[in-house]
């Protein structure tokens, strides 16, 4: 994980250079998050589509908006490139478009932000550290072109409340909107309805704890009714239960459903 330049911190949640050898061809799941995903592969294009095959293609860049389903990333045993997470405000400030219009999409950066269309080519032949510097410079220049962007203060408060698991009606009351008005504004900002956004946020929180605590504890701490509720949500959003994902991502774990929370 690389440090995000100061000017970009309101808009970039993560900046990561990766060079991974898995040993054999396979499929990696790209899971739903409350951030947009921007991937710039280096060496080989990224073979990605939604789980089940929809929109699959090989791309030298991929921009995906918020979504309530998993992507399938096909690889030949190795992957190398740069991946960023963008806030919804980052879509406007860095790409020049509202995040809502990108929800559920898998697009190349040139289709979204023509002024960044040459970025994949500029990374050709570079090392990862050089590539990170080029990406940071390009996005800082994009910010200067588009200008700073933040959601309306009440929308920002609403998203924070939904992320904390507060009831939609309570969030609407807190920001002074009807539920219908709140739904419209959240959809415009994220592309997801309030309950759907909340579901993705809860799922994202659970993923951070998997492999470190027993599943029943993760379910309780993240706002699920019980462990079965957690498993059903994972099957819907990730295409597999959490134990399957843990075996895929961390095959050294012997009993991922019954971990010592201190381990």
Conformation bin of residue 161: beta by default, left when phi > 0, alpha when psi is -120 to 50: alpha
pTM: 0.91
* Predicted pLDDT of residue 150: 86
Tell me the pLDDT band of 248, cut-offs 50, 70 and 90: confident
Predicted confidence (pLDDT) per residue in 158-192, tens digit: 999 999 999 999 999 999 999 999 999 999 999 99
Among 105, 131, 146, which residue terminates a domain? 146
In this prediction, residues 216-242 reach a mean pLDDT of 96
Residue 259 has pLDDT above 50, yes or no: no
In terms of domains, do 139 and 87 share one? yes
> b/e per residue, 47-63, with b = 16+ CB within 10 A?
bbbbbeeeebeebbbbb
Helices (H), 26-127: 88-90, 109-112, 119-122
Q: What would the two tokens of residue 4 be?
A: 């995000």
Question: Which domain CATH number covers 13?
Answer: 2.60.120
Hey, which bits of 108-215 come out as E strands? none
In terms of domains, do 21 and 103 share one? yes
In a domain, 205, yes or no: no
Report the alpha-carbon distance of residue 120 to residue 30 in Å, rounded.
20
Give phi and psi for 244, each to the nearest 5. Answer: -65, -45
- Show the domain range for 217: 210-263
Predicted confidence (pLDDT) per residue in 27-51, tens digit: 999 999 999 999 999 999 999 999 9
């Amino acid at each position: 994980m690389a440090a995000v330049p100061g000017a970009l911190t309101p808009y970039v949640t993560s900046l990561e250079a990766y060079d991974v050898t898995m040993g054999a061809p396979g499929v990696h799941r790209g899971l739903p998050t409350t951030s947009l995903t921007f991937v710039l592969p280096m060496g080989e294009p990224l073979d990605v589509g939604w789980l089940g095959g929809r929109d699959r293609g090989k791309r030298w860049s991929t921009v995906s908006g918020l979504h309530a389903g998993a992507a399938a990333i096909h690889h030949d045993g190795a992957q190398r490139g740069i991946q960023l997470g963008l806030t919804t405000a980052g879509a406007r400030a860095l790409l020049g478009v509202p995040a809502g219009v990108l929800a559920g999409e898998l697009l190349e950066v040139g289709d979204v932000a023509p002024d960044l269309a040459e970025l994949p080519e500029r990374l050709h032949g570079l090392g990862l550290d050089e590539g990170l510097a080029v990406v940071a410079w390009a996005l800082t220049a994009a910010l200067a072109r588009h200008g700073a962007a933040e959601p309306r203060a009440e929308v920002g408060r609403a998203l924070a409340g939904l992320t904390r698991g507060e009831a939609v009606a309570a969030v609407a009351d807190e920001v002074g909107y009807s539920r219908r008005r709140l739904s419209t504004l959240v959809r415009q900002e994220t592309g997801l309805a309030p309950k759907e956004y909340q579901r993705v946020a809860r799922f994202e929180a659970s993923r951070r704890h998997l492999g470190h605590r027993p599943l029943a504890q993760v379910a309780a701490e993240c706002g699920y009714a019980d462990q079965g509720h957690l498993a059903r949500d994972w099957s819907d959003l990730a295409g597999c239960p959490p134990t399957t994902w843990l075996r895929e991502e961390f095959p050294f774990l012997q009993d991922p459903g019954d971990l010592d929370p201190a381990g």
